[in-house]
Amino acid sequence: MQNKIIELLKKNNLLKIIDQELDIYLEIPHIAYIEVKQKNSKALLFTNTVDKKNNKKFKEPVLMNIFCSPKAVELFIGDIENIASEIQGLLKMKPPKDFMGKLSMATDLFNLKNIFPKRLNGRGESQEIIKLGKDAKLSDLPILTTWEQDGGPFITMGQVYTTSLDGSMHNLGMYRLQVYDDYTLGMHWQIHKDSNHFFHEYKKAGKKMPVSIGIGGDPMYIWCGQAPLPIGVFELLLYGFAKKEPAKLVKSITNNIYVPHDVDYVIEGFVDVQNLKIEGPFGDHTGYYTLEEEYPYLEVSAITQKKNPVFAATVVGKPLLEDKYMGYATERIFLPLLKTTAPDLIDYYMPENGVFHNLILAKIKTLYPGHAQQVMHAFWGVGQMSFVKHAIFVNQDAPELESKEIIPYILNRFHIDNLLITKGVVDALDHSSPKFAMGGKLGVDCTDDKIEDLNITILDDDNLLSKMQNISSEIKELKQYYKDTSNPIVVIGVEKIRNQKSLIDELKPLFNHIKILVIVDIKNNSLDNPYMLVWRVVNNIDSNRDIYLFDNTVAVDATNKNILDNFKRRWPDDVVCTKEVIGSLKEKNIIDIDDDFIKRWGIL
């Protein structure tokens, strides 16, 4: 299948082939990280891959940035709007009134037979070569080390297949997988995931847990692995629904897990439920390193593969990333399911620079006071939506949620009285919450009428900065955004030497010029880059700790937290490329980027 994928990418002018010798340590992932941020991003096929550290050359190529564009998503997943419409039709299916209605329903229901995965007899393409025991070495695969501070090489596009203890439920998840040695692989399934629930079943029973990991094959497997389906629903059902044909599975060689017949590799093994290993750090899709934590690990029993495999991988870090395009498909296809919980929901949008779980914009049909708050609570109680930290709601008359006009619309309806600050579950990758996986939630109701009274006197940037610097020399830069709205935003960059609540209190005499104040560290932030400022702010704040409400002003402390803030967890570093590697790749003419590009995306 993977060669067919390569040919399909070529045919649609979506593939760059790079034949120069490149290292699996930093070089290949850095190139992919740059490519995905280009205007006409393409998939990358690296045909000459080496491990310089261990003086090893690989036969198989590495394929990255598979979901490189909306066009690639359509090629591999299908017509997104049509799939969403079909799901909506099923959810609204009613008893037929006449014979033709019964016939139509029968046809629809008959077609659903294709959603169920089909188990094949015999072996699949993924088992053309079988390595068992000590012959099954992870170092034989071109597994990438993406970032300098990573705890080691990580498989980044692994399809993790697991089964409940009684065999009644099956799960496909996409988790990062750390290589410890030739025969040991870290399993970063988080506390909220099905695989972790299965793990505890095996642990209670005192049995080792079988796991098989697919790499490559149909890209649809990869997308299904990150789809937010309800607990207990096998993700490959979605493959069958979208493809109109069932996923075809074969039994693993050394355990009872079934995997797709056409993936390029399968890593099989068992998880010892009694032991854990320190996993990480890893530069993750939040744009920060997630720190070391204990996780289960897989003891490899077999590695099977095609005769001519291609190793699929992705790169994560600061946005814009490949998950922008994968996330768009998820967002559209799952809108009908979300509407079953929130029927007055019209649309929603999860900006990639909000790293999906940190920010959501939602449009609703507002029917009564408090309606937006009601939907906020519904969101925070639904599957992966429960991890969303910041939710902004607008009325049905709002512009398109992805348009430039949506921010002025929001700011013209923003009011302190319509903020809902609470707490709940947050993603395990969240670094800013005071406790692991538990933190603040912010809901903003902007469904009211436009606010006409500004209630402040706007100053120009230089004048306002001068007045601020007369109060505190910690303030180094200032920029105002959306001064023509009812709630202009003032962003200041500071050299932080104390808790920012003290600085905010000192700035109160200037609040007659400020509606929304946002504070960031001057280091590693450009006040002229709103895209990355949004990324920074929604990553860095916990609404219970970092939002300060006054009569007419809201202040937001989006600085990195430390002991000055009574923050007791370790604050991670930003994910950045290694300067020497970027310089070397530029010298070899493999990448062509200037200082503006580097600054825009926070590359270094």
pLDDT tens digits, 138-164 = 999 999 999 999 999 999 999 999 999
Please give the CATH topology (third level) of the domain spanning 2-313.
Pnp Oxidase; Chain A (2.30.110)
Tokens encoding 182: 């030739």
Residues 145 and 134: their CA atoms lie apart, in Å, by 23
Q: Is the dihedral of CA 271, 277, 281, 286 positive or negative?
A: positive
Alpha helices in 342-482 (DSSP H): 371-379, 406-411, 461-471
CA dist., res. 155 & res. 222, Å (int)? 13
How far apart CA 442 and CA 345 sit, in angstroms, is 18
Tell me how far apart the alpha carbons of residues 355 and 100 are, in angstroms, rounded to a whole number. 46
The reported pLDDT for the residue numbered 18 is: 98
User: What confidence score (pLDDT) does residue 93 get?
Assistant: 47
Same fold, 2-313 and 342-446: no
> How far apart are alpha carbons 4 and 216 in whole angstroms?
12
What is the end-to-end Cα distance of the chain in Å, rounded?
A: 37
CATH number for the domain running over 342-446: 3.40.1670.10
Closest CA to 279 of 262, 296, 264: 296
In the structure encoding, which two tokens stand for residue 160, read together? 């993790």
Alpha helix positions (H), 26-69: 27-35
* CATH class of the region 461-565: alpha beta
The whole-model pTM stands at: 0.94
CB 6 within 8 A of CB 15: yes
> Which of these, 116, 188, 131, lies nearest to 156 by C-alpha position?
188
Distance CA 132, CA 336 (A): 45
Phi, psi of 283 (to 5 degrees): -75, 105
pLDDT, one tens digit per residue, over 348-368 is: 999 999 998 999 999 999 999
Question: Domain residue spans in the chain?
Answer: 2-313, 342-446, 461-565
Residue ranges in the chain whose pLDDT is less than 70:
1-2, 90-112, 191-194
Burial group, residue 343, by CB count within 10 angstroms (0-12, 13-18, 19+):
exposed
